[in-house]
Structure 1
Amino acid sequence: MPSFSSSHKVNHKADDMFRLVADVEQYPKFVPLCQALQVRGRKELPDGRTVLVADMTVAYKMFKETFTSRVELQPESKTILVEYLDGPFKHLENKWTFKDVDDGRSTVGFYINYEFRSRALGSLMGAMFDKAFRKFSNAFETRADQVYGG
């Protein structure tokens, strides 16, 4: 199963980066391959967590697919967990972590593990997805610079 992980220091606080990644409705503006994102539902839990169910449409040239995920925002631990529900994947899990390291800087951790339902789709899209995931941290850092200054 393909997977990708990165840990990247950014010039922004962990809380700011958490809020930026948690603001999924903004993804079509700056996330590679993300053409559309619609939140179907949002539930605030008593312990401070928020659970979203969202549809994300990814597009590249002739390829266009929509998949549904459950997104759990955990502000206390500054963690975001994404669990795949429906679409072209057989499996997808994604985790973001945010940790302050020093004066106004933080480390953003990104991990994703996925497998396409169809071997043909995996062959076609695998390299492109891998390339897109490698651009994710830069896309979020650039967005943070625009939103928070940098």
Structure 2
Amino acid sequence: MLRVVRQQCFCVTSRKASYQRGFFTLPNFSPFSDEPPATQTYHERKIFPHGRRDLYNLIADVGSYPSFVPYCTGSRILERRVGQDGVVTMDAELMVGFFAFKESYVSRVTCRPYESVQAEASTSTPLFKTLQTVWRFQPASSTSPHPSSGPPLHGEVRTSVAADSHSPDAGPTLVTLDIAFAFENPLHSALSAKFFGKVSTLMVQAFEERCLAVYGSGTK
């Protein structure tokens, strides 16, 4: 059986960034013109029966995103680099579309094998001031408790299995997803906050379906 523990939280903080491009542009309203954008954050977690290697490989395959990532209509790798430490860095153009919105932007994707995949918009958009997603993969025990409420764990999740002694091919694995974004225009934030609040949940559900399609249930 797949053991599910999920947390979603909503936070608003002030943050300045330097990103540009987006979906459509509405005029800034003077009452908001001097206010910094509010950064919205969402956190999800779920335990999968698969090993970290398999789960990491799915998320690191940026070219396959249109097959399972919600609202991603296209992707292409512009440049790929591998460091001496094995960390893979990519510049990828992602195309997204939902409702009347259609946009493409370049994202810097940093892949740390079997540990994490981080994507951060490196070109700016009229819709988003900032846009960042981070997937993390950590060894889990099927019997150890995992909190299902409270603030994000900032990459620190305690389990009964030591990470340095846990093979990347062995499951189960605790997968966490953190999304942080700020709209360029306050009106976009007000109109779209509820919609984007569901995106993190949809992404984890889509990832689970992708795992089932590629690797099966992972149980015997």
| 1:100 match | 139
CA contact (8 A) 1:33 1:132 kept: no
**Which structure's residues are more often strand, by fraction?**
1
1:57 aligns with 2:95: yes
Alignment of 1:66-105 (within 5 A): 66-75=104-113, 78-88=115-125, 89-102=128-141, 104-105=171-172
Between the aligned residues of both structures, percent identity stands at 30
CA contact (8 A) 2:137 2:174 kept: yes
Which one of 101, 110, 117 corresponds to residue 184 of structure 2? Answer: 117
The whole-number CA distance in structure 2 between the counterparts of 1:142 and 1:38 is 22
Query: Structure 2: which amino acid aligns with 1:47?
Result: D
CA contact (8 A) 1:65 1:87 kept: no
CA contact (8 A) 2:105 2:124 kept: yes
Displacement of 1:142: 0.9
CA contact (8 A) 1:66 1:87 kept: no
The whole-number CA distance in structure 1 between the counterparts of 2:66 and 2:132 is 20
| 2:212 match | 145
SS at match of 1:65: strand
Displacement of 1:17: 0.5
CA contact (8 A) 2:177 2:200 kept: no
Q: Which runs of 5+ in 2 are unaligned?
A: 1-38, 142-169
Q: Which runs of 5+ in 1 are unaligned?
A: none
CA contact (8 A) 2:41 2:178 kept: yes
1:131 aligns with 2:168: no
Displacement of 1:84: 1.8
The whole-number CA distance in structure 1 between the counterparts of 2:196 and 2:103 is 12
The root-mean-square deviation of aligned C-alpha atoms, in Å, is 1.5
Displacement of 1:28: 0.4
Q: Deviations over 1:53-84 (max 9, x none)?
A: 111111112111112110000116x1112222
The whole-number CA distance in structure 2 between the counterparts of 1:84 and 1:58 is 13
Query: Structure 1: which amino acid aligns with 2:95?
Result: T
TM-score w.r.t. length of structure 2: 0.63
The whole-number CA distance in structure 1 between the counterparts of 2:107 and 2:117 is 12
